[in-house]
Amino acid sequence: MIQKTFLMVKPDGVQRSIIGEVISRFEKKGFQLVGAKLMHISQELAETHYGEHKEKPFFGELVKFITSGPVFAMVWEGENVISVSRQMVGKTNPQEALPGTIRGDYGLIVDKNIIHGSDSPESAEREISLFFESEELTFYKKDADAWIY
Ligand code: RTP
Ligand code: MG
């Protein structure tokens, strides 16, 4: 099933210059980038985005971290992109994330785990509309033949 999901390079990933690496992995897998922007997350957006964790002991630190510097917000489209991209992201704790996953290859601690990915179709829809206006998303067909000289 063709789906859309919300993926975001967190402030640590931006600081460590791995935006390109992250984009490259999803592109090579076969997914299509349909929206992207570098932005600062406001306190209010952070609290809404991570609202499900409001009661958790790490909520304050999580909001502080995600608003601490620019993030790279993206919408990706493709076959089963929600669950497949979560597999490519890896487990929440980078020490448990398998090598070959983004967190497994680049992360070391749970509160700086490089990337966020929507965890269900409901989250994907909610998060895409929180971060993007519909005019910011682009749709196009890939036509390789037209670009080979
Ligand atoms: P994310 O939402 O950021 O993609 O991460 P996730 O689904 O893999 O994990 P989730 O349970 O939604 O947790 C959100 C973020 O909170 C931080 N966290 N810290 N100190 C802790 O035990 C702890 N647990 C979670 C992580 O940064 C996680 O990405
Ligand atoms: Mg989550």
Structure tokens at 94: 């980078």
Going along the chain from its start, the domains and CATH numbers come out as: 2-143 (3.30.70.141)
Q: Is the pLDDT of residue 148 over 90?
A: no
Q: pTM of the entire structure?
A: 0.96
Tens-digit pLDDT profile for residues 91-124: 999 999 999 999 999 999 999 999 999 999 999 9
Residue 7: φ, ψ to 5° = -125, 145
Whether the CB-CB separation of 46 and 67 falls below 8 Å is answered with yes
Tens-digit pLDDT profile for residues 26-79: 999 999 999 999 999 999 999 999 999 999 999 999 999 999 999 999 999 999
In this prediction, residue 142 carries a pLDDT of 84
Tell me the HSE value of 82 on the side-chain side, using a 13 A CA sphere: 16
Question: Was 29 annotated as part of a binding site?
Answer: no
> CA-CA distance, 113 to 91, in Å (whole number)?
9
Q: Whose CA is nearest to atom 27 of ligand 1?
A: 111
> CA-CA distance, 87 to 124, in Å (whole number)?
15
Instruction: Please state the three-class secondary structure of 74-96 as a single string.
Output: EEEEEECHHHHHHHHHCCCCCCC
Instruction: Judge if ipTM > 0.85.
Output: yes
> DSSP code of 112?
B
Distance in Å, CA 148 to ligand 1 centroid: 43
**Annotation marks residue 116 as catalytic:** yes
Whether the CB-CB separation of 128 and 75 falls below 8 Å is answered with yes
